[in-house]
Amino acid sequence: MGKTSLRAGRIAEQIQRELAELIQLEVKDPRVGLVTLTGVEVTQDYAHAKVYFTSMKSAEDVPKAQAGLEHAAGFLRSQLAHRMKLRVTPQLHFIHDTSVEHGVRLSQLIDEAVSADKAHHRED
């Protein structure tokens, strides 16, 4: 790993911590609700950051939460600029992270397969 990728990783982690706090304490948009930031990726030039999030709301409300986050992106970016000492504060792009939902679904499928297997073995 080079110096720049280590720095990018540290910056991404710091952005995630700061945004999580800002969203929790400062964003009053009811569309956002309870969101969890699962990761941040910054480009090599630090001009853009992909912010991955999950929502505790239903799947139908995710686009509303994303719209609320996008609407607050300018405010969040300005707050990041005050909190972090960077030459360039990245543009924020919010992306819904579906990995948690996939993990829950896979876990359900595994549980169903195990219970079906146990039921099958009891019949023998």
Domain 3-97 CATH class label: alpha beta
Pairs from 51-57 (Cβ < 8 Å, separation ≥ 24): 51/15, 51/16, 51/19, 51/92, 51/93, 51/94, 51/95, 52/95, 52/96, 52/97, 53/94, 53/95, 53/96, 53/97, 54/96, 54/97, 54/100, 54/101, 55/96, 57/33
Q: What is the pLDDT of residues 28-85, one digit of tens each?
A: 988 888 899 999 999 999 999 999 999 887 777 889 999 999 999 999 999 999 999 8
- Alpha carbon distance 13, 47 (integer Å): 16
- 109: which DSSP letter? H
Domain locations along the chain: 3-97
Q: How is residue 13 written in tokens?
A: 């982690």
Q: Is the pTM of this model over 0.75?
A: yes
